[in-house]
A and B are shown apart, each in its own frame.
Chain A
Amino acid sequence: MPKLLALTVAATLTLVLAIACGSSGEGGREVQITQSEDGCTPTRIEADTGEQLKFVMTNETSGIYELEGEEGTEFEEVVVPEGKSRSAGFTVPNEEGTYPLKCYVPDGVETIIEIKAILGSGSPAAAAGDTEGQVNVELSDFHIATSKETIDDGDVTFVAKNVGPEKEHELVIVRTDLSPDALSTNVDGSIDESAEGVEVIAEIEDVAVGDSGRLTIELASGAYVLLCNIVDTQSGTEPLAHYAEGMVTAFTVE
């Protein structure tokens, strides 16, 4: 009997070790997901096809939170205990498309996080750089430069790179016939995104210095404005609206 038990224990340990050594380290780009009483942020994650991501989920509530794949997205359910952080890897599929994740409290708030997969930098289309349907946008403090001012209608890919040196930026694509410097603004100097004659089509949010954001969208022909609508607020100083500082440029789709 002791022999048999010893043998069982030894076999189990060997198996555990084999699995432990075999398990691959979770690499990949870290994506922070915050789980709060009101839902999860961000609700949209840009990624390259085939990219390895590592979700770091932080549950700020006092109950459990879950994250799992929706509609066929292959991401096994992860339970994040109250007040804890958990991480899990996700490999973006090789097909371009949107892969939804459900971030939810059992019987409570539910947020759909969309992972937008676009052809990765390793892919032929991206390797070609500034291709036909692509606009490279350089965001800086406080200027927006585009690789082209007009583009044909249809699917347009914006690749926005923040070259800094200091501030975080975003790229807002606005459909408007107004001139870039004539948009109506809020008191803090940012543009009023719900004003008449202005339609926000899409945005690449929160691009940190050195980072790039990528977005493919179908655009109809017309006049557009690209801008950064971030306002820096610091106590004791005037709000600093990036738009008012000059982060805006006209863009035409033919």
Chain B
Amino acid sequence: MLFSLLVTAREGIEIALIVTILLGYLRRIDQKRHFREIWYGVGAAAVLSLAIGIGLELASRELDGRVLEAFEGFTMLFAVAVLTWMLFWMKRHSAGISGELRHQINTALSRGSVVALTLLAFSSVGREGLETVLFLFAGSNSGSSDVMFILGGVAGFALAVAVGVVLYYGSAKLPLRQFFFASAVALMVLAAGMLSNALMELQEAALLSELGPRPWDTESIISATSDLGKFLHTILGYDSAPTLAQITLYWAYLAAVLSVYVAWPSPTPMAAQRQVAATVVVPVAEGE
């Protein structure tokens, strides 16, 4: 549940931010009548993401045994790759994202193309939607019950919608920058666990055989088959007797991405300030 909550809250707030920037700008330039096109784009992106999610789920139900495990393993690896890339992309581009979107709206409006607005909303929201679906799917086969998993996802989105509403009406300043930093770190921890789980899936699919010795066994402390064990398996990739390859990959990934993420240079000091402005103040200011 925590897993799906974290993923949808983070991705949902990214979506809320994008939609708020789009709507806020249209409102400022007195083009509120184009709100409809934005919502069409958001709706289409939601439908596409949902369709892909359902497609992945159905595909995994068709598969069986080793093929299923290989499918799950590779989906996890892919999800980790996409997530890692997106976290860095977001950090690098968050500074300019607001200006960029406004620029694209201007272009769309000046060409008089209404479809372009829909496409703009569709592509910016769709990318986040796909990321959400991919990561949720990769983390869904293990862990808490289906109901809790879905509840967590819905709660995360509800939180995102609330944030979006607050941003749009500009009634409060939200600590978005802090949220993005904290959630990025949390997602990296999830991703590290997912990498370790992916190795296990690939071993179960008989695609990997030698993963090295298992230095410890904590089954008697936290059983891998207990509720707590399964929960930690999803969140942290807990395995009561992990192989050396899993341990190494987990810590190597975490150390690498965390240190690079924290040390990632903001383009210029000015851009760093703009980043704060773009993510926190601008949507609020535009609401005036």
Contact = CB atoms under 8 A, between A and B. Distances in A.
B179 A4 contact: yes
A67 B241 CA distance: 17
Given A20-B228, A84-B241, A12 B178 contact: no
A4 B178 contact: yes
B228 A64 contact: no
B225 A87 contact: yes
Given A1-B181, A8-B182, A81-B241, A106 B225 contact: no
A106 B225 CA distance: 19
Given A26-B226, A106-B205, A81 B178 contact: no
A169 to B, nearest CB: 33
Contacts of B179: 4
Contacts of B203: 64, 106
Chain B: interface size category = 20 to 34
Given A106-B66, A107-B66, A84 B217 contact: yes
Interface residues of A, number: 28
Given A79-B200, A81-B214, A106-B204, A87 B228 contact: no
B27 to A, nearest CB: 30
Interface in A1-36: 1, 4-5, 8, 12, 15-16, 19-20, 22-23, 26
A22 B227 contact: yes
A63 interface: yes
Interface string A49-67: 0000000000000011010
Interface of B: 2, 66, 69, 175, 178-179, 181-182, 186, 200, 203-206, 209, 214, 217, 219, 223-228, 231-232, 241, 243
25 contacts: A1-B182, A4-B175, A4-B178, A4-B179, A5-B182, A15-B2, A16-B231, A19-B228, A20-B228, A63-B209, A64-B203, A64-B204, A78-B225, A79-B204, A81-B214, A82-B214, A84-B217, A84-B219, A84-B241, A85-B219, A86-B224, A87-B225, A106-B203, A106-B204, A106-B206
Closest 8 pairs between A and B when the two form their complex, measured CB to CB: A107-B206, A23-B227, A106-B206, A88-B225, A20-B228, A81-B241, A1-B178, A4-B178
Interface of A: 1, 4-5, 8, 12, 15-16, 19-20, 22-23, 26, 63-64, 66, 78-79, 81-82, 84-89, 106-108
